[in-house]
Structure 1
Amino acid sequence: MARITAGVATSHVPLLGVGIDQGKMEEDYFKPIYAGYEWSKRWIADPENKPDVVILVYNDHATAFDMNLIPTFAIGCAEEFQPADEGWGRRPVPVVKNDADFAWHLAQSLILDEFDMTIINKMDVDHGLTVPLSLMFGQPAEWPVKVVPLAVNVVTYPPPSGNRCYALGEAIRNAVESYDKDLKVQVWGTGGMSHQLQGPRAGLINKEWDQRFLDDLTADPLRLRHIPHIEYLRETGSEGIETVMWLIMRGALGGDVKELHRHYHVPGSNTAVGHIVLEAAP
């Protein structure tokens, strides 16, 4: 059967995609940010660790969805997805190839498990999805894994609660384990960490809060699932709520996990850049 082997979480700051695309990785500003991903790139390139499929949890930034259509949870079930044009042309990255049979199985299982998933068969994917792939795989001619896009609304109020996101992760685990093909699956949660991009608190970064969140992904995940929206807003800024998507990843890993790698850097384009790799218990 299919099984979840690991979870990855990372910020998806658009500037980090620009830095890779424009060859700025060795510049003084960018170098310490990308250095934290070198271990992860080596780790995921190892055949023992490389997944067949990544379920990539991200948020759309008014590219595929706008105020006319706001799905709380959406799953991409098409064969492939083009990188989006976010105003300056499509990123020079490969087309995202899906495992459509597996994605349809996930959709069916999650809906029958009482999660109201929106099924998407045509959408472009923006930096929320492509930047994490670039950070983990660099600049290949083709992405070396299949990718199931799972979009979460954390842009327009009301977003889903941390508890609901964690529960969705648990349902994803059940869905993966009920698939009858032998697949190695990773779940990635993206976005965050603390940041606010507008208003009087623009530039807000809360290192202490972020570090405790990273600690408790292994030490006390049940605390994280019950953090209310208002605490994210107060402590991590208006965009810090993106971190609830990391809880989908954590819920999918089950009880015990092992932290393999962690990276935290401030700032990355007015954002706290966070990254962690967790190994699922056998």
Structure 2
Amino acid sequence: MAKITASVYTSHVPAIGAALDSGKAGEPYWQKVFSGYDYSKKWNKDNIPDVVFLIYNDHANAFSLSLIPTFALGTAESFPIADEGWGARPVPVVKGHPELASHIAQSLIQDDFDITIANELPVDHGLTVPMSLMFGEVDEWPCYVIPLHVNVVQYPVPSGARCFAMGKAIRRAVESFDQDLNVHIWGTGGMSHQLQGARAGLINEKWDNDFLDELIAEPEKLSKKPHLEYVEEAGSEGIELVMWLMARGAMNLEKEPIVKHRFYHVPASNTAVGHLILEDGI
């Protein structure tokens, strides 16, 4: 059967992609950010999965305000890179795994999770920036990717508890697939940041690191954190962190995870960068 063996958590700051694409990664400001992923690239090369199940949010590129699914699962053979207004990022087209994606869709819907099936889905920096951070500059991505969009842009948005429960259902779906596949699950977005209003530029380092502590050790408790706390403490865009709870819910919750890497840095553009790699406990 297929197995989820590890999870990755990372911010998906668009300016990170711009820095990579314009050759600024070695500049002092950005080098401090990218150094936090040196270990991650090595770990990834030593632990290449067959499939990455990547949880992200679209930023009005695949979906507009006229149609916003709460959850949209990509089931296509490939996913083109979206033009976000300044041209598509110069990265490879993302290769999908339609068989596993369709199986997960079937399992989730039968498990009473209402999701939208996306047979066509352009993917933006929410997905490509984490791929670049973890795999570096490549001619083609070394594994298949199944994208799952979560609406954390337009209210109402799903709760942390709903995302955590869906992560558990994703694990059940993967483990019922009859091919021998090694699957990693990634939760992206965050950490604390606010892009508009009187609190634009807000970063809450203590809250972010407390979140990382709880994500590792007390995810069930963390999943009950109310939306209002995310907004008050982590800024309006801090709600993206519910996507990390989905990835954590897909891990083996009966054992303590193995923390392979932890990184936190302020600032990157106008946000805090957080990053974790967890492996299933033995």
Shorter-chain TM band: over 0.9
1:119 matched residue in structure 2: 117
1:107 matched residue in structure 2: 105
Secondary structure of 1:7's counterpart equals strand
Distance in 2 of aligned mates of 1:79 and 1:275: 29
Q: Name structure 1 gaps, 5 residues minimum.
A: none
1:160 lines up with 2:161 in the alignment: no
Secondary structure of 1:241's counterpart equals helix
Distance in 1 of aligned mates of 2:263 and 2:23: 21
| Count of residues in correspondence between the two structures | 280
1:224 lines up with 2:211 in the alignment: no
Distance in 2 of aligned mates of 1:120 and 1:218: 31
1:263 lines up with 2:250 in the alignment: no
Q: Name structure 2 gaps, 5 residues minimum.
A: none
Shift of the alpha carbon at 1:281?
Answer: 2.5
1:65 matched residue in structure 2: 63
**1:202 maps to which of 179, 200, 203:** 200
Secondary structure of 2:28's counterpart equals coil
More moved, 214-223 vs 140-149: 214-223
Query: What is the TM-score when the length of structure 2 is the normalising length?
Result: 0.98
Secondary structure of 1:272's counterpart equals strand
Deviation string, structure 1 residues 14-64 (Cα, Å, up to 9, x no partner): 010111111111101100100000000000101xx2100000000000000
Shift of the alpha carbon at 1:259?
Answer: 1.0
Deviation string, structure 1 residues 50-108 (Cα, Å, up to 9, x no partner): 10000000000000001111110110001001010000001000000001111000100
Distance in 1 of aligned mates of 2:248 and 2:181: 19
1:30 lines up with 2:26 in the alignment: no
Distance in 2 of aligned mates of 1:182 and 1:123: 26
1:274 matched residue in structure 2: 274
Secondary structure of 2:29's counterpart equals coil
Distance in 2 of aligned mates of 1:69 and 1:122: 15
2:167 matched residue in structure 1: 169
Query: What is the TM-score when the length of structure 1 is the normalising length?
Result: 0.98
Distance in 1 of aligned mates of 2:98 and 2:196: 38
Distance in 2 of aligned mates of 1:132 and 1:76: 17
Secondary structure of 1:266's counterpart equals strand
**2:89 maps to which of 88, 91, 94:** 91
Distance in 1 of aligned mates of 2:191 and 2:76: 30
1:78 matched residue in structure 2: 76
Distance in 2 of aligned mates of 1:60 and 1:35: 26
Q: Which runs of 4+ in 1 moved over 4 A?
A: none
Secondary structure of 2:232's counterpart equals helix
